[in-house]
Amino acid sequence: MPGLTIAIVDGHAVFRTAVAAYLESKGIEVAVNVATGDELLAGMRAHPVDIAVVDVRLTPDSDEGGIELARTVKREFPEAAILILSAYTATDQAIRLISDFEQSIGYLRKDEVDVDDLGVQLTRLVAGQQVLGRSFVDRLLRPTIRESALTSLTRQEREVLRLIAQGYSNAGIGGALSLAERTVEDHVRRIFTKLNITSEGAAPTNKRVLAVLTWLRENSPD
């Protein structure tokens, strides 16, 4: 985690300052620490960063200005990872954002931010992975009217897929659900089969990513 360079944009100065102080205590450089989107873009042009941490609601009259800002950041700085923070559960617009970009992007509700895990999550983002909070995953799993590949999954399989989306290993899933690791492996294999993720020779990690992306595509609003 040390060596990373971060930009933070959040309309709440107290929260922004607290996050910056924690990151700096872990050896992470906070090169940009601002309150508005314009300031963020100007700061990132002057100081390239590895990750931009973006608040969804930057101003009281803009509920999702941070989502559009994240899109702008991704277009102008495609190598930068994005971590969206919000006081609220993900909206349709946020789900579209995650589905559109797929890699090096994450969404956490602010009450889901665990400082003990934050360093690991930032490292995963820089490595090209997604970081999705439980509330985001729950939002995706809400029943939908249309038929989808996910309707074939059992309740246990959906819970396993939820944890895959949150970055859990098979051993971690077993611990969370009180299942033997072999049982988890069986669930994962059935999930791959039901979602038609059967590419021969594909690495297990790639199959897990494909499963999550299938989930996002099936649940992302049209």
Give pLDDT tens digits for 92-138: 778 788 778 778 888 888 887 777 778 888 888 888 888 888 777 77
For residue 46, the model assigns a pLDDT of 96
**Which is higher by pLDDT, 13 or 219?**
13
**Last residue of some domain: 139, 172, 203?**
139
**Are residues 80 and 38 both part of a single domain?**
yes
**Last residue of some domain: 77, 109, 139?**
139
Displacement of CA 140 from its chain's centroid (Å): 13
Instruction: Count the alpha carbons within 13 Å of 11 in the hemisphere toward its beta carbon.
Output: 15
**Are residues 197 and 168 both part of a single domain?**
yes
Taking CA atoms, 64 is separated from 41, 72, 94, 121, in Å, by 17, 13, 8, 23
Whether the per-residue pLDDT at 207 is higher than 60: the answer is yes
Cβ neighbours of residue 19 under 8 Å, at least 6 residues apart? 8, 10, 53, 113
Whether the per-residue pLDDT at 8 is higher than 70: the answer is yes
Work out the mean pLDDT of the chain and round it to a whole number.
80
Angle 125-129-130 (CA atoms, 0-180°, nearest 5)?
85
Q: What is the CATH number of the domain that holds 198?
A: 1.10.10.10
CA-nearest of 65, 131, 3 to 73 is 65
Q: Which two tokens stand for residue 192?
A: 């791959």
Distance of alpha carbon 111 from alpha carbon 89, whole angstroms: 10
Distance of alpha carbon 17 from alpha carbon 51, whole angstroms: 17
Q: Which domain holds residue 62?
A: 5-139
Whether the per-residue pLDDT at 154 is higher than 90: the answer is no
Distance of alpha carbon 122 from alpha carbon 44, whole angstroms: 18
Distance of alpha carbon 22 from alpha carbon 17, whole angstroms: 9
**Are residues 179 and 89 both part of a single domain?**
no
Distance of alpha carbon 181 from alpha carbon 177, whole angstroms: 10
Distance of alpha carbon 192 from alpha carbon 29, whole angstroms: 40
Number of domains, the chain: 2
Summarize the confidence of residues 58-80 as an average pLDDT: 81
Rounded to two decimals, what is the model's pTM?
Answer: 0.63
**Are residues 161 and 209 both part of a single domain?**
yes
Whether the per-residue pLDDT at 205 is higher than 60: the answer is no
